[in-house]
Amino acid sequence: MDIGFIGLGNMGQPMARRLIEAGHRLTVFDTRREAVDQLAALGAIAAASAADVADKVETVMASLPTPAIVQAVSTGDGGVIQGKRVRRFVDLSTTGARAAAANAAVLASKNIVQVDSPVSGGVAGAKKGTLAVMVSGPSPDIDVVKDALSVFGKVFVVGNKPGMAQTMKLANNFLSATALAATSEAVVMGVKAGLDPAVMIDVINAGSGRNTASTDKFPKAILPRSFDAGFATALMLKDVRLCLEEAKALGVPNDVMSAVARLWELTAAEIGADKDFTTIIQPVERRAGVTVGAAEKKT
């Protein structure tokens, strides 16, 4: 299948690579030339702009960091909407339901169908092809791209309206963000009381408190103090904010969301929005006066 791919960052690069390895013919664009060159070396065709990609293929995929960038790339000057051949825009980004619906309406004015397809599973999942791929949009267009999307992982068709997959993604990421925030507070409390954090994580993972933070982020990035899970605090904060906004717009109680959002806001302000999202434990540590990590492991 001929596919355009825009956005070759931490997630986009390995997803685009998997498409090439699966035999799809890719035309790619990114503002970073080195990212384009890496895929061109594997056989991808380099494009000069988003519109240039959309001149060459009927299906354009995009993996971009923020709703504003998605909007600019898809419907802005020099964007996908100005392409002469494009028929569908597959958005792999996380934008929120309302932004997705608004973007879909603009694209529809030029007879371009938007398929929402946010993914979950992180950089490791993108590399391994084990992502959860959430999809919503018109069934005929989903049928066209479903096999290609399956290269990224397991495909879940969640609805036929613009934004439905975005709501699913925000619900998922809110739970992930909450697990990391809550586990950070719980483990810091234990360390302050004298518990070994490594033993705590082992117990949690054998018990009912087990979650994605305890099974993955703590053992791999927090206890070793490497803070290199591969996802920026700014991106998680963006997702939590979008989820909170959607909950408020729908009139849904959001007490937990609001509390979780405050810790992510604090982490971005105090530790740095550009830092890895596993640094969320650091503001908690500072206030408790302890450090969680391998150094505390008792011999």
pLDDT in tens, 216-228: 999 999 999 999 9
Above 80 in pLDDT, residue 275?
Answer: yes
Average pLDDT for the chain: 95
Residue 169: active-site member: yes
Above 70 in pLDDT, residue 23?
Answer: yes
Instruction: Return the percentage of the chain with pLDDT > 90, whole number.
Output: 96
Q: What is the pLDDT of residue 21?
A: 96
Confidence of residue 230 (pLDDT cuts 50, 70, 90): confident
Task: Please give the model's pTM, rounded to 2 decimal places.
Answer: 0.90
Give the residue-averaged pLDDT of 52-77. 96
* CA proximity to 281, closest of 222, 208, 213: 222
Above 60 in pLDDT, residue 299?
Answer: no
Give the residue-averaged pLDDT of 23-32. 97
The encoded tokens of residue 247 equal 């909950």
- C-alpha 153/C-alpha 134 separation (Å) is 10
Q: Which of 127, 146, 161, 169 is catalytic?
A: 169
Q: What is the pLDDT of residue 294?
A: 64
The encoded tokens of residue 284 equal 């908690």
Give the residue-averaged pLDDT of 112-138. 95
Give the residue-averaged pLDDT of 241-269. 97
Above 60 in pLDDT, residue 243?
Answer: yes
- C-alpha 178/C-alpha 184 separation (Å) is 10
Q: What are phi and psi of 162, to 5 degrees?
A: -55, 130
Above 80 in pLDDT, residue 170?
Answer: yes
Q: What is the pLDDT of residue 122?
A: 87
Q: What is the pLDDT of residue 192?
A: 97
Confidence of residue 203 (pLDDT cuts 50, 70, 90): very high
Query: Which domains can be identified in the chain, with CATH numbers?
Result: 2-160 (3.40.50.720), 167-296 (1.10.1040.10)
Q: What is the pLDDT of residue 296?
A: 46
Residue 157 Cα distances to 82, 92, 213, 258, 280, angstroms: 28, 14, 26, 29, 32
Residue 57 Cα distances to 105, 156, 217, 267, 278, angstroms: 21, 25, 38, 41, 38
What DSSP letter does each residue of 177-190 carry, written as one string? HHHHHHHHHHHHHH
What DSSP letter does each residue of 80-138 carry, written as one string? GGG-SS--EEEE-S---HHHHHHHHHHHHTTT-EEEE--EESHHHHHHHT-EEEEEES-
Amino acid at 260: V
- C-alpha 117/C-alpha 165 separation (Å) is 6
Q: What is the pLDDT of residue 295?
A: 52
Instruction: Return the percentage of the chain with pLDDT > 70, whole number.
Output: 98
